[in-house]
Amino acid sequence: MLHVYANTLASGILDYNDKNREFIFNYRNDNPISLTMPYRTGSYTSHYHIHPIFDMSMPEGYLFELLKNLLIKEHGEMNDFILFSHLSRSIEGYLTYQKEDEAEAFTLSLDEILESEDENLFTSLVHNFLNHSAIGGVQPKVLAQLESKVTLSHREYIIKSFSAEYPHLAENEYFCMKALTFAGIRTPKFWLSKSKKLFIMEKFTYQKEQNSFYGFEEFCVLFQYNKEKKYYGSYEKIAKSIAQISTQKQDDLHRFYKMMVMNYLLKNSDAHLKNFGMLYTADKKERFLAPAYDVVNTLVYLPHDKPALTLAGKKVWADKKTLLDFGMISCMLSEKEAVILFEVCVDSTKQIMTEIENYIKINPDFQAFGEQFLKILHFSLTDNIDTNYKDVYNGIL
C-alpha cells in the first residue's frame, strides 16, 4: 500500500490485489494526481498494468533488467507493484509517495561528471543510483542528484550512456538537441561529457522561483495508455490534445509543429507518445507543452526504420508539402507562417551540419559515423523535401 501525494498534499492510496492482478487507486482527499484521473469517490482500477500516471516513471530495457534481478533476489518474485513501490521512495516531483528511511544519498558534482574520462563512470553511477532511478525509457540512463558548484544546490539530472550497438549516441543526441535550440525550440539544459561517452540533461519539472514542481504527463498518460502502446496513434492526435489541454494553445501548437519538422529533418524515428508531454501548475490554471527531449538521429543505426506514429495516416518520411499541410490543418498556422517556420528548421539543420563537419575535423574517431549522419541530413534537405519515402535506405546509400 502506497500513500500518494500531489504537490506535497495527501491525495490517496495505491494498492495491489495479487489474486486478481488489479492495481487500485482510491482518493482520500480532493487533490487530483492526473489530468486524466479527476477526484471521485469510486476506485480507479487497472487490470494487469499499473495506472499510466505511475507507469510513466517505470524503467524499461537496461535499468528494468538490473532492477528486476535485484528485486527477485530480495522478494523472490517481481511485479509492477513491487518495482514501483521500490522506486517510489526516490521519486521527487509533483507526485511523491510515502517514503521509508533511506541511507544517505551518494553525491557527485556536475563538473565531476562532465570532466571525467573514466570509461567505467556510467557503470559506477548506475550501481550507486540504482535505487534512485525512477525514470522511464529504454536507453541506458540513470537519474542522479548532482551538486552544482555554481549554485551550491543539488538538482536532478538524467545521465545517458550507450551500448556498442549504438555508437556515438551521446554525441548524436547532443547535436540533435543543439539543432532544436537553433530552431528556437525550448529544451532542458544539456551537456556532453569531456569523454564524449555521456549525455547529461537537467530535469525540467522543477520551478526554482516557487521551490516546487510542475505536474508532468506524457501523452501515453494523457491518452490513458501504458508504455506498451507508446507507438499507437498519430501526430495529429497529439496536436488535437495539445489544443484541448493547453492554456496557450497557439504558441504550443506552433512549437509542436517545429518539433515535428525537426524530427523529420533529423530523422528521429523514435518520436513516440512517451517523448512528448504537458506541464501544468498545481492549480491547473497554466498548462503548456513540455520542452523537447529524447531527440536523436535513429536512421544512422536503423536505416530501414519509419516514424514512430502516423502523419496524414501513414508512417512515412514526409515531404515538405505534407508537413506544411500538418502545420496548417493541425497546428493553427497560416500557409505563410508554416513556410517561415519550416525554413527556420531547414536553416537550423544546415547550421548543425556545419557544426558536425567542424567536429569531425578535431574528432577523427567520429568521422565515419559523422559522415553517415551528414549524409542522412543532406537527404532530408534534398530528395525528401519533394518526395515522401517509406524507406529512405536506398535514397541514402
Average pLDDT (372-377) is 97
Please give the grid coordinates belonging to residue 363: 574528432
Asked whether the predicted pLDDT for residue 364 surpasses 60, the reply is yes
pLDDT of residue 102: 45
Give residue 66's pLDDT band: very low, low, confident or very high (50, 70, 90): low
> Which one, of 261, 236, 106, lies nearest residue 180 by Cα?
261
Q: CA triplet 358, 363, 369: central angle to 5 degrees?
A: 85
SS3 156: strand
| pLDDT tens by residue, 298-337 | 999 999 999 999 999 999 999 999 999 999 999 999 999 9
pLDDT of residue 73: 67
Q: Which amino acid is residue 158, in one-letter code? A: I
Asked whether the predicted pLDDT for residue 137 surpasses 60, the reply is no
- Residue 95 CA, chain-centre distance (Å), reads 18
Number of Cα atoms under 13 Å in the Cβ half of residue 327: 27
Q: How far apart (Å, rounded) are the C-alpha atoms in residues 295 and 312?
A: 22
| pLDDT tens by residue, 151-192 | 333 357 788 877 778 899 999 999 999 999 999 999 999 999
Asked whether the predicted pLDDT for residue 146 surpasses 60, the reply is no
Strand 108-109 and strand 141-148: pairing? Answer: parallel
Between these two residues, 124 and 267, which has the higher pLDDT value? Answer: 267
| pLDDT tens by residue, 237-273 | 999 999 999 999 999 999 999 999 999 999 999 999 9
Residue 123 per-residue DSSP state: H
- Residue 192 CA, chain-centre distance (Å), reads 17
pLDDT of residue 252: 98
Asked whether the predicted pLDDT for residue 100 surpasses 80, the reply is no
pLDDT of residue 384: 96
pLDDT of residue 49: 92
pLDDT of residue 153: 37
**Domain extent listing, the chain:** 2-59+75-97, 223-396
Asked whether the predicted pLDDT for residue 131 surpasses 60, the reply is no
pLDDT of residue 40: 98
pLDDT of residue 260: 98
Output the CA torsion 323→326→332→338 (10° steps).
Answer: 20
Q: How far apart (Å, rounded) are the C-alpha atoms in residues 133 and 59?
A: 8
Average pLDDT, whole number, for the chain?
87
Output the CA torsion 141→142→147→148 (10° steps).
Answer: 20
> Which one, of 242, 234, 317, lies nearest residue 273 by Cα?
234
- Residues 276 and 233 sit within 8 Å (Cβ to Cβ): no
Asked whether the predicted pLDDT for residue 372 surpasses 80, the reply is yes
Sequence-ordered strand ranges (E) for 95-248: 95-97, 108-109, 141-148, 153-160, 190-192, 199-202, 206-207, 212-213, 215-218
Residue with cell 556536475: 110
Q: How far apart (Å, rounded) are the C-alpha atoms in residues 63 and 7?
A: 27
Between these two residues, 136 and 44, which has the higher pLDDT value? Answer: 44
25-39, 56-70, 107-121, 380-394: which is most confident: 25-39
Element (H, E) at 392: none
Backbone φ and ψ for 334, nearest 5 degrees, come out as: -75, 165
Give the CA distances from residue 243 to residues 248, 331, 395, in Å, rounded to whole numbers and listed in that order. Answer: 8, 8, 36
Residue 106 per-residue DSSP state: P
Asked whether the predicted pLDDT for residue 11 surpasses 50, the reply is yes
Residue 34 per-residue DSSP state: B
Q: How far apart (Å, rounded) are the C-alpha atoms in residues 25 and 95?
A: 14
- Residues 276 and 238 sit within 8 Å (Cβ to Cβ): yes
**Percent share of the chain, pLDDT over 70:** 85
- Residues 230 and 220 sit within 8 Å (Cβ to Cβ): yes
pLDDT of residue 72: 75
Give residue 150's pLDDT band: very low, low, confident or very high (50, 70, 90): very low
Q: 223-396 in CATH: which number?
A: 1.10.1070
Give residue 36's pLDDT band: very low, low, confident or very high (50, 70, 90): very high
